[in-house]
Amino acid sequence: MSTWSEALVCPDCHGALTPCEGGLSCEKDGVTFSRNPHGYLDFTPEGRYERVETTSEEYADEQRTNWRRFYDAFLDPWLQREDAKRILEIGSGVGMGIRFARDEGKEAYGIDLPCLSPFWAKVENDPGSFFLAEGARLPFPDGYFDALYCLGVIEHVGTIVGHYTLGDHYREERMAFARELLRVTKPGGRLLITCPNRRFPIDIHHEPTDDATPPGAMRFRRWFFDRFGLTLHWPFGEYHLFSLGDLRRLFVQDCGASSAEPLSLRHYFGFHRMGSLPGVSAVKDLAASYIENISKPLRGTCFDPFLVIEVRR
């Protein structure tokens, strides 16, 4: 195991860092980035994420079990399509994808919020490849990565902690996030961004916790979620999810990426969850086949439940 990586720079001035007692320091800014009690370098602002918990034991277990299939069937072919060797995952969760990529000899790093560090320690993630950092403030140099991926994370940026409700400054926060992801990607490099589609009225990833919903509708949404594990939402107006247009506006129009194109959902999902839904097994194959075969013109429209977008810097 390495203790730190030479790829790291100061997340503020992007200048060199030097090893010091307990971590790394930036001489220019006079700041130190310390290792937390689990041994991972922490680049997040002190106290900001103290009470943020994004991952349960159950969710971590799910990631540990499901990632091998996802990596082999979807992610690895995507990385290999343009022979990406330097890779970053934003919001890596437990970090299985980065572990698999490193096993294959790639230079791969994962970043996530401080609450992930006990889960990293449990599976012995290398403190030289996993760092505590926010997507909007990364400890890597400009243009360092061939490819970067960020799966099911962007819809949480700018929301109020513990909710999926948008905060007052969500536009600025999402802009800072997108700009920073592009900064560390090489010119012509790729970013894979995924998120449930705001234009599709069913969300398979999140619970219904939107404060703006009238109480009666909220009760129905809650009942539907408890019964089927799916969240109904209105496909128009402000909501924490993104549409294809929202992602294009953010990455291309506002942050200068050259393109943002929806990819096929083929091999993205394992459909393991659907099997456990009561009464759904009969339509499971049909739904799976629909999702796997959404034709190109329908990608990103109201017929497409989930966005898998390739952004090119």
Ligand X SMILES: C[S@@+](CC[C@H](N)C(=O)[O-])C[C@H]1O[C@@H](n2cnc3c(N)ncnc32)[C@H](O)[C@@H]1O
Which of ligand X, Zn ion, none does residue 81 bind (CB under 5 to 8 Å by kind)?
A: none
Site for ligand X in 43-62 (CB under 6 A): 54-55
Length of the chain, please? 313
Give the Cα separation of 52 and 127 in Å (integer). 21
**Complex with Zn ion: residue 26 or 94, whichever CB lies closer:** 26
- The span from the CA of 202 to the CA of 60, in Å, is 24
Closer residue to ligand X, CB minimum distance, 127 or 158: 158
Closest distance of CB 13 from ligand X, Å: 20
Spatial neighbors of 236 by CB under 8 A, at least 6 apart, are: none
Residues near 29 by beta carbon (within 8 Å), at least 6 away in sequence = 10, 12, 13, 15
- The minimum distance between CB 142 and Zn ion, in angstroms, equals 14
Q: Least CB distance from residue 58 to ligand X, whole Å?
A: 13
Q: Which does residue 296 bind out of Zn ion, ligand X, none, counting CB within 5 to 8 angstroms by kind? A: none
Query: Which residue's beta carbon is nearest to the bound ligand X?
Result: 91
Q: Is 257 left (phi over 0), alpha (psi -120 to 50) or beta?
A: beta
Q: Is the distance from CB of 190 to CB of 312 less than 8 angstroms?
A: yes
Closest alpha carbon to 139 in 184, 192, 78, 196:
184
Binding to ligand X, residues 93-122 (CB under 6 A): 93, 111-113, 116
According to the binding rule CB under 6 A, does residue 91 interact with ligand X? yes
Range 152-191, binding ligand X (CB under 6 A): 152-153, 156-157
Residue 112: name its binding partner from ligand X, Zn ion, none (Cβ under 5 to 8 Å by kind). Answer: ligand X
Which of 107, 176, 197, 111 has its CA nearest to residue 150? 111
The residue (of 41 and 153) whose beta carbon lies closer to ligand X is: 153
Residue 10 interacts with, from Zn ion, ligand X, none (CB under 5-8 Å by kind): Zn ion
Positions touching Zn ion (CB under 5 A) are 10, 12-13, 15, 26, 28-29
Q: How far is CA 134 from the centre of its chain?
A: 11
The backbone torsions φ and ψ at residue 116, rounded to the nearest 5 degrees and listed phi first, read -80, -15
> Which tokens in the block code for residue 267?
């091999």
Q: What single-letter amino acid sits at 78?
A: W
42 binds, among Zn ion, ligand X, none (CB under 5 to 8 A by kind): none
User: Which of 19, 256 has the CB closer to Zn ion?
Assistant: 19
CB of 26 to Zn ion, least distance (A): 3
Q: Residue 274 carries which side chain, given as an amino acid letter?
A: M
Q: Which is nearer to ligand X, 143 or 152 (CB)?
A: 152
12 binds, among ligand X, Zn ion, none (CB under 5 to 8 A by kind): Zn ion
Minimum distance between the CB of residue 258 and ligand X, rounded to whole angstroms? Answer: 24
Q: Which range touches ligand X (CB under 6 A), out of 100-108, 151-159, 231-239, 278-286?
A: 151-159
Interface with ligand X: number of residues (CB under 6 A): 18
Q: Which of 42, 78, 86, 134 binds ligand X (CB under 6 A)?
A: 134
Residues that bind ligand X (CB under 6 A): 54-55, 63, 90-93, 111-113, 116, 134-135, 151-153, 156-157
